[in-house]
Amino acid sequence: MVRDFTQSEVQSLCELLGVSDLRDPDAAVVKTPPLIEDVRRVLKLPVLPHSHLLDEQTWMMGGRVTRWLGGEMSTSVDDGDYDLFSGSFPAMERTLNRMLESGYSITRVQYVNPWPGIPVPRMLRRKPSPVPAPPRNASVPDLPGLLLRRMPDGSDMYCMRLTSPERHVIQFMYIPSLFPDAARPDTLIEQTDLSICQFTLDGRYLRAGPHSWSDFVRHRLRVVYMRSGRRTAGRLFKYAARGFWPDARTVQTVYGRWLSEALKRGGNPARFKA
């Protein structure tokens, strides 16, 4: 569960972020990203694992960063994925080489038992959906372990899965459609579904959406962008279990989209589980 911030911490964050009151969404729009080291100092946070891999074209974002900011990583088992994003193929190749040289290894998708305490017979295990390798052409480098996935909106996502020397799982991704002109994390942040998941580290700054800090401190969920109502609906449950609650507008937006998608497929909405 995410911890509650003390009044002293909230006040220090307000001063660091240049806002008057983080608990007031209208007065808490952050325009300038703070330095990562300053955030660590204010919230007394440890160094985030694998942050040494980050630079101006390699970023970490998602639930792992949210857990780190909320102090959850010091009170729970470090069993989740670290989501790294690259802004170009050259940056992806450069970071991958650094990882392989320092003991990271490429892994293939394997069966994961959803009930760790209960052994599941091999014949009953559901195999992961096959992920094709990208087509061979001049625009896509021949990187080891590189796979091609289709996102819900049809966009291509090039990805690979690695394991660190500490046995942490790293999901490394590049989505070309997000960076048509230059490799900047702004579009990636804007097209993240929930505001508290917009926190993005680039090795120097902690970037976020305009309402990320306010929603994070208040433990609120705000929908920002959806590629799939079904997926975002499931994530609302996931973060509610960690202490973040959606407002009425977010619930209406997400589940309205989920219902609409189910009806367009011509099926029973009850069958489209999150």
Mean pLDDT by runs of 10 across the 274 residues of the chain is 87 92 81 93 93 94 91 69 93 95 84 49 51 72 89 86 94 90 84 92 93 93 86 88 89 85 67 50
Collapsed DSSP state (helix, strand, coil) of residue 146: coil
pLDDT of residue 225: 85
State residue 261 phi and psi, 5-degree precision.
-65, -40
Secondary structure of the chain: what % helix, strand, coil (to 5)? 35, 15, 45
Give residue 121's pLDDT. Answer: 55
Question: Which pLDDT score is estimated for 111?
Answer: 45
- This prediction has a pTM of 0.83
The number of beta carbons lying within 10 Å of the beta carbon of residue 15 is 10
The pLDDT score that the predictor gives to residue 76 is 57
What local confidence, expressed as pLDDT, does residue 264 receive?
A: 78
Distances (CA, A) of 51 to 25, 47, 226: 29, 8, 27
> What is the pairing mode between strands 81-86 and 58-61?
antiparallel
